[in-house]
Amino acid sequence: MAGQRVAVIGASGYGGLQTLRLLQDHPHLSVSFLGGERSTGKRWSELVPFLPLADDLVVRAPDPDAIAAAADLAVLSLPNGLAATLVPDLLQRGVKVVDLSADYRYRSLARWQEVYAAEARQVTRQDGELCQEAVYGLVEVAEARIREARLVAAPGCFPTASLLALLPFLEQGLIETGGIVIDAKTGTSGGGRAAKENLLLAEAAEAVAPYGVVGHRHTSEIEQLAAQAAGQPIQLQFTPHLMPMVRGLLATVYGRLRDPGLTAEDCTTLLKASYRHSPSVQVLPVGVYPSTKWVRNTNRCLLSVQVDLRTGQLIVMSAIDNLLKGQAGQGVQCLNLLSGLEAGTGLPLLPFYP
């Protein structure tokens, strides 16, 4: 299926902007509807003159009837809790949805309400069945299911980088399920476009700062998928850090090997086999470690493995662009699959360096 019309809701945020930029060059998908709240009634060229659209659309209120009349697919780039107010009506009208927020990443509505308690207090949700129906949109893991879905919940940027590094080893039972540690660094764009004090230049520049050290929301999202891969519950340690850069994310994942005889070459071979049909994932040679600059403005994930034979520790490094493979690019991969296309259609894989 080709020639699909796409509505982008939350178009002027970072996720929406990246989505629109990717769809500009897409051979089979076109933007037919722009939705927003604060920007309703404004022409796109007034809001974002640096990213002209072929059709200079007017931003409209995200009314389900209007969206369904204009689009076959919808990407929702909205704050957590807001997508759930639109999704049931869009699905009822036959619009397939890719949600970039966390509203449908959990199989249990009660779990979402627990993790996102502040948002849950502001919205009333009764769509538990949709939480169970939604497909977690990590394309390299769930491609076949995404193709058949109505609703796809695109993963967060930290879970994307972490799970691509971790899942093959859990699926094969090569690492202990206890003692997994994820140390991750991200650029300031991961905090969104709305003004926040900790993201000001004077605050974030020339500094590295941990945050959400215990109980970060993405911990439970990573654990949910890790447990499915391992076939048993998993608790792991996840610590994010804010870096003085705009975009990019590096996750370093540590796990204890069950077989101390496994080498970095063995583990690299496993990763290459796991992602042999995944053009967006590249496994680097042993001893070559990824830089966020190597994936900047691309939809690629770079993976590298090392093994500390002294401690029996597996170390997997994963670099992505947090706004592309970690958000909008992954969303477009899901749109492609929903449209019957190859997942990587229209997506950049090579950076402009440096």
334 among known catalytic residues = no
- Domain match, 91 and 180 both: no
pLDDT tens-digit readout, 65-107: 999 999 999 999 999 999 999 999 999 999 999 999 999 999 9
- Domain match, 22 and 71 both: yes
Sheet-wide strand order for 151-153: 29-35, 4-9, 73-76, 96-99, 151-153, 135-136
Active-site option among 157, 267, 301, 334: 157
Between CA 263 and CA 146 the distance in angstroms is 34
Q: What is the pLDDT of residue 105?
A: 98
Residue 303 inside a domain? The answer is yes
- Domain match, 100 and 180 both: no
Q: What is the pLDDT of residue 1?
A: 43
Q: Which residues pair with 60 in a beta bridge?
A: 35
**Which of 117, 133, 149 is the last residue before a domain boundary?**
133
How many structural domains compose the chain? 2
Q: Which residues pair with 7 in a beta bridge?
A: 33, 74
Compute the average pLDDT of residues 139-164.
97
Residue 343 inside a domain? The answer is no
Q: What is the pLDDT of residue 239?
A: 97
- Domain match, 232 and 314 both: yes
Its domain, for residue 162, covers: 157-322
Residue 254 inside a domain? The answer is yes
Three-state DSSP class for residue 235: coil
With both helix axes pointing from N to C terminus, report the angle between 139-147 and 329-338 in degrees, rounded to the nearest 10.
Answer: 30
- Domain match, 198 and 312 both: yes
pLDDT tens-digit readout, 292-348: 999 999 999 999 999 999 999 999 999 999 999 999 999 999 999 999 999 999 999
Between CA 321 and CA 327 the distance in angstroms is 9
Residue 349 inside a domain? The answer is no
Residue 81 inside a domain? The answer is yes
Is residue 27 reached through a cis peptide bond, with omega within 30 degrees of 0 on the bond before it?
Answer: no
Q: Which two tokens stand for residue 21?
A: 């930029």
- Domain match, 164 and 97 both: no
- Domain match, 97 and 227 both: no
Burial (CB count <10 Å: 0-12, 13-18, 19+), residue 256: middle
Between CA 354 and CA 277 the distance in angstroms is 28
Domain containing 95 — which CATH number?
3.40.50.720
- Residue 246 CA: distances (Å) to CA of 64, 100, 188, 296: 34, 19, 5, 10
- Domain match, 192 and 316 both: yes
Domain containing 193 — which CATH number?
3.30.360.10
- Domain match, 273 and 239 both: yes
Residue 255: which of 182, 196, 344 has the closest Cα? Answer: 182
Q: Which of 115-124, 161-170, 186-195, 259-268 has the lowest mean pLDDT?
A: 186-195
